[in-house]
Structure 1
Amino acid sequence: MPKRSPGLPSDDHVNRRFGERLRACRERAGKSQSDVGTALGVSFQQIQKYENGSTSISLNRIFDFADNVGISMSSLFEGLDPRAFQAAAAGGFAEEGQAALTDDADDMRLVAGQYSKQKVRLIGAFNRVADAKARVTLIEMAEALAARDDDQAA
């Protein structure tokens, strides 16, 4: 297998980041690992391996995955920039564990860790709100709640 250029992430690091993207897209579509595994003809354990980055996923499966969760195949690769991986490996993110991937629908960063499923649900619901004024109201409400919590913590 050819060696990677200096400064580029390892294969495992790329698989892990791509797996985070797969998981976020699957969860946003409201599908379980079993649902996707059945549709792709693999076990839910295999989907787990793709999502945690321990196994690479073939291009054929990526195509089938994208079709199953209702997104374009290219959107899965959006934001997979080697320079972003270098920044992640060097600790260049403000938040520990933040993925180097963006949601192409609204450029929101997908963040791994505590509450990540809730964040994905919130972003998915927000993206479905068609009324621009309602979206602004939701943002203002979230900011007001966060400010209240900041005041209580102080």
Structure 2
Amino acid sequence: MAHTDLDRTAPGRPVPGRRAAFARRLRFLRERAGKSQAAVAAAAGVDRSFYVEVEGAKHSVSVDKVFLIADALGIAVAELFTGLDERTGRPETAGDPLTGDAGSAAPREPAADQAPSQP
């Protein structure tokens, strides 16, 4: 897989906040699922070194790959972005890097599979 200079963060140049927040969230979800970077990369069909750099905030990830990574983690795509402040990329609360949730050892059920709440 070829990467262009646009894919990389120049040395000494700060990583965009949104990308850094996404990377922290991705790592949190992977660790919560009890999977290695290599296992997630293999399940998503992406190169391990590319996945490591996405999780390290060195690369942005395409929409296509976002879906593959979510599938590899066994979560809904929306969970990758839960709690992300759209303007700054900063966490909205404390705890889980983005949601403030203390988390659990078991992955959450995807939002699409949850029954609607009743008043």
TM-score (norm 2): 0.64
Distance 1:72 1:126, change over 3 A: closer
Structure 2: stretches of 5+ with no match in the other structure: 1-13, 109-119
Change (3 A) 1:37 1:77: same
Q: What is the CA–CA distance in structure 2 between the aligned matches of 1:127 and 1:50, rounded to whole Å? A: 21
Aligned mate of 1:108, from 98, 101, 111? 101
Task: Kindly indicate which of the two structures has a greater share of residues assigned to helix.
Answer: 1
CA RMSD in angstroms comes to 3.2
Deviation at 1:48, TM superposition (A): 1.2
Superposed displacement of residue 11, structure 1: 6.6
Match of 1:68 among 69, 72, 75: 72
Bigger relative contact order, structure 1 or 2, given CA contacts below 8 A and separation 6+?
2
**Number of the residue aligned with 1:81:** 85
Residue 71 and residue 126 in structure 1: after superposition, are their counterparts in 2 closer, same or farther (change >3 A)? closer
Deviations 1:108-151 (A, max 9, x none): 16xxxxxxxxxxxxx323889xxxxxxxxxxxxxxxxxxxxxxx
Aligned length: 95
Q: Secondary structure at the match of 1:46?
A: helix
After TM superposition, give the deviation of residue 41 of structure 1 in Å. Answer: 2.1
Distance 2:39 2:106 in 1: 24
- 1:108 maps to a residue whose letter is D
TM-superposed CA distance for 1:45, in Å, is 1.5
1:59 maps to amino acid? V
Unpaired runs of 5+ residues, structure 1, are: 1-9, 110-122, 129-154
Identity %: 38
| Structure 1 residues 1-154: aligned runs within 5 Å | 12-83=16-87, 85=88, 88=90, 99=97, 101-102=98-99, 107-108=100-101, 123-125=103-105
Q: What do residues 79-133 of structure 1 show as CA deviations (whole Å, max 9, x unaligned)?
A: 11235x37x5xxxx88xxx94x11xxxx416xxxxxxxxxxxxx323889xxxxx
Q: Which amino acid aligns with 2:101?
A: M
Following superposition, which runs of at least 4 residues in structure 1 exceed 6 angstroms of deviation? none
Q: Give the structure with the higher percent strand.
A: 1
